[in-house]
Structure 1
Amino acid sequence: MNILIVDDDLVDRKLIKKMLISDGSHHHDITEVTCVSEGLKAIENKHFDIILLDYNMPKEDGIEMLIEMRAKPKLGNTAIIMISSSENSALAIECIEAGAQDFLPKGDITRDSLNKALIYAKKRFEAEQRMHNSYLAVKHMAERDQLTGLSNRYHFEEILKVMIANNKRAKNCVALLALDLDNFKNINDTLGHSVGDEILIQTVERIHSCLRQNEGFARLGGDEFAVIIGGICNINQIGMIANRILAEVSKPFLHEGRTLNCSVSIGSALYPNDATESHELLKCADIAMYRSKQSGKSRISFYKEQYQYEFSRRVDIQNSIKEHIEEKSFRLFYQPVYCSKTQMMTGVEALVRWPNTTIHYTPDEFIPIAEECRLIDPLGKWIIASALEQLSLWQQSYETPLTLSINISPIQLQKKILETYLLETIKTYNLKTSSIILEITETAFMENSKEVIEILTSLSNKGFRIALDDFGMGYSSISHLISYPIDIVKLDKSMQSLDGENNKRLKIIESLSLMLKKLDFSVVAEGIETKAQHQLCKKLNIDYLQGFLFSKPMPANEINLILDDYCKKIILK
Structure 2
Amino acid sequence: MQRPLLAAGLLLAAATGLLLNLVQPGLFSSALLVSAGLALLWLGYVEYQHFRSISQAYDLAMQAAHDGFWNWNPVTKKLQVGSRLLQILGYRQDFLPDTHAWLRLVHPDDVAFYNRAVARHIKGETDHFYCEYRVLASDGQYRWIASRGLAVRDGRGTAYQMVGSVTDITERRQHQEELEFLAQHDVLTGLPNRLLFAEHLQAAITEGREQTHRLAVLFIDLDRFKNINDTLGHRAGDQMLQTVSMTLRASLPANCRLYRQGGDEFIVLINPLPAGTDAMDIALKIKEQITEPIAGGENDFFTSASIGVSLFPDDAGDGETLLRHADTAMYAAKAVGGNAIRFHTAQMDQRVSLRMSLETRLRKALQENQFELYFQPQVAAEDGRLVGAEALLRWHDGDSMIPPDQFIPVAEECGLIVPIGEWVIARAVGQIAEWRNRHALVPPIAINLSPRQFWRPSVSHCILDALNFAGLPTSVLEVEITESVVLDPEGDSIEQLGRLREAGIGIALDDFGTGYSSLSYLQRLPVGVLKIDRSFIKSLVVDEGAAGSEPLVRAIIAMAHSLSLKVVAEGVETPEQLQALRYLGCDIIQGYLFSRPLAPGEFAEKYLVDRKNP
* TM norm structure 2: 0.45
Larger RCO (CA within 8 A; separation ≥ 6): 2
* TM norm structure 1: 0.48
